[in-house]
């Protein structure tokens, strides 16, 4: 369970804020939180002695304070996941409360539920940045509803548009991606099925314990255990990939419109060059594109890993952890850096008029302003 992020490049690529939500400490905390919640849920239905849960709580608090995640990561190698050594440590620390640790569960129950908790936290950060990007695009759309500009198709000048409509298109895509990601994340349920997904070890209270665990953690209740039914992970991967793509589209436009010979927009704090003092690089948009470029391959990895065999996967499940973590970092980085790019983006109507005059000196009327109004009125 190594720490996540990419070291000194994390702030540059915008992934540092999301990295803190999925790092080794966050993983350890989430795993322990699930184990404690499970002990409470099992006690509520008589599966374990309620008095023993206090011992589990104390043991969990001690491990949160003292256990080095790197130590647990090393111990995870033998069994293939960190829940096995964590449960062993919890039982040892709980003393007489040991029977109330990990009742009726399998390692995947704890791992998957902890992953859902981490995804929700990371998605909150990503959603905040996406919302800020969309708000900035909306402000640009409103301010430049009627600012004439040239539309470009296949890399060439096409017909007149307005910069407001360009920005409204950015806003619509970002809003759509944010809402879809939020919907997918909100639907991710608890995981609790026991060793073979039958809840046998919790009989006759298995479904009730699963529901109590979900309620205690603030997660949706499951219908059936989803140990090897991974459509939810595929939907999450797709939503994150789409969000990264929405950011990449806007960032690409900003990079192109910032070119010296175009000059229609400029970032508030452009980057410089180590050897060319005249350069004003749109570095936030550039690094947003860089982060977003990593997303498609990670989405493909997660979709390829959806073939979990039988009732517990030997490899595909394990492949999800780093791929999904990296995808959260990539999408989060794209949104964070695009936010920097769009907030305070400078718009140059004079340059737009100059470029427009190259092929369309007398723009004909269009519905550009009406379309801007429609986008802004229908924002979620």
Question: For 215-259, how does the pLDDT look when each residue is reduced to its tens digit (9 = 90+)?
Answer: 999 999 999 999 999 999 999 999 999 999 999 999 999 999 999
Provide the pairing of β-strand 265-266 with 346-347: antiparallel
Looking at residue 365, its pLDDT comes to: 80
Of 314, 316, 294, 322, nearest to 303 (Cα)?
316
Domain 7-377 falls under CATH 1.20.200.10: yes
Q: Give the Å distances, CA to CA, from 269 to 57, 181, 280, 285, 344.
A: 49, 29, 9, 11, 9
- CA–CA separation, 130 and 378 (whole Å): 17
Per-residue pLDDT, 271: 56
- What is the pLDDT, as a whole number, of residue 279? 60
Q: What are phi and psi of 231, to 5 degrees?
A: -60, -30
| Coil, helix or strand at residue 191 | coil
Q: Is 312 a catalytic residue?
A: yes
Q: Which residues of 279-288 are buried (b: 16+ CB within 10 A; e: fewer)?
A: eeebbbbbbb
| pTM for the predicted model, two decimal places | 0.95
Task: Tell me how many degrees the CA angle 298-113-326 measures, rounded to the nearest 5.
Answer: 20
Is 273 one of the catalytic residues?
A: yes
Low-confidence ranges of the chain (pLDDT < 50): 1-2, 273-274
Question: Quick one: which of 362, 378, 373 has its CA closest to 150?
Answer: 362
pLDDT value, residue 9? 82
Whether omega for the bond prior to residue 178 falls within 30 degrees of 0, making it cis, is no
Q: How far is residue 155's CA from residue 267's CA, in Å, rounded to a whole number? A: 22
Catalytic residue among 58, 88, 91, 312: 312
Q: What stretch of H or E contains 329?
A: helix 316-342
pLDDT score recorded for residue 269? 73
* pLDDT at position 5: 55
**Distance (Å, rounded) from C-alpha 73 to C-alpha 238?**
29
- Burial classification of residue 7, based on how many CB atoms lie within 10 Å of its CB (0-12 exposed, 13-18 middle, 19 or more buried): exposed
Q: How far is CA 192 from the centre of its chain?
A: 23
Q: How many CA atoms lie within 13 A of 371 on its CB side?
A: 16
Query: Active-site residue among 183, 273, 374, 379?
Result: 273
Q: How far is it, in rounded angstroms, from Cα 285 to Cα 247?
A: 9
Dig out the tokens for 196 from the structure. 């073979």
């Amino acid at each position: 369970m190594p720490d996540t992020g990419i070291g000194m490049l994390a702030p540059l690529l915008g992934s540092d804020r999301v990295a803190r939500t999925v790092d080794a400490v966050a993983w350890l905390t989430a795993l322990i939180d699930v184990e404690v919640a499970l002990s409470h849920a099992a006690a509520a239905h008589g599966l374990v002695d309620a008095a023993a849960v206090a011992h589990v709580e104390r043991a969990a608090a001690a491990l949160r304070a003292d256990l080095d995640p790197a130590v647990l990561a090393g111990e995870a190698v033998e069994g293939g996941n960190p829940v096995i050594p964590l449960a062993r440590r919890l039982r040892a620390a709980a003393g007489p409360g040991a029977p109330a640790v990990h009742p009726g569960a399998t390692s995947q129950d704890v791992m998957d539920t902890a992953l859902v908790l981490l995804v929700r936290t990371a998605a909150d950060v990503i959603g905040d940045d996406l919302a800020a990007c969309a708000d900035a695009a909306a402000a640009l759309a409103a301010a430049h509803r009627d600012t004439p500009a040239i539309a470009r198709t296949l890399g060439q000048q096409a017909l007149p548009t307005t910069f407001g409509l360009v920005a409204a298109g950015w806003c619509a895509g970002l809003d759509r991606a944010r809402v879809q990601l939020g919907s997918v994340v909100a639907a991710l349920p608890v995981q609790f099925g026991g060793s073979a997904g039958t809840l046998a070890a919790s009989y006759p209270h298995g479904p009730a314990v699963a529901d109590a665990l979900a309620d205690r953690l603030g997660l949706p209740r499951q219908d059936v255990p989803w140990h090897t039914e991974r459509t939810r992970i595929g939907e999450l991967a797709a939503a994150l990939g789409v969000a990264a793509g929405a950011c990449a589209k806007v960032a690409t436009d900003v990079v192109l419109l910032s070119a010296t010979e175009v000059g229609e927009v400029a970032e508030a704090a452009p980057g410089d060059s180590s050897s060319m003092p005249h350069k004003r690089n749109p570095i936030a948009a550039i690094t947003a594109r860089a982060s977003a470029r990593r997303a498609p391959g990670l989405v493909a990895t997660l979709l390829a890993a959806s073939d979990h065999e039988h009732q517990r996967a030997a490899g595909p499940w394990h492949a999800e952890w780093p791929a999904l973590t990296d995808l959260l970092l990539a999408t989060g980085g794209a949104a964070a850096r695009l936010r920097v790019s769009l907030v305070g983006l400078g718009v140059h109507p004079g340059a737009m008029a100059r470029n427009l005059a190259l092929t369309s000196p007398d723009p004909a009327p269009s519905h550009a302003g009406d379309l801007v109004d429609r986008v802004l009125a229908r924002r979620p």
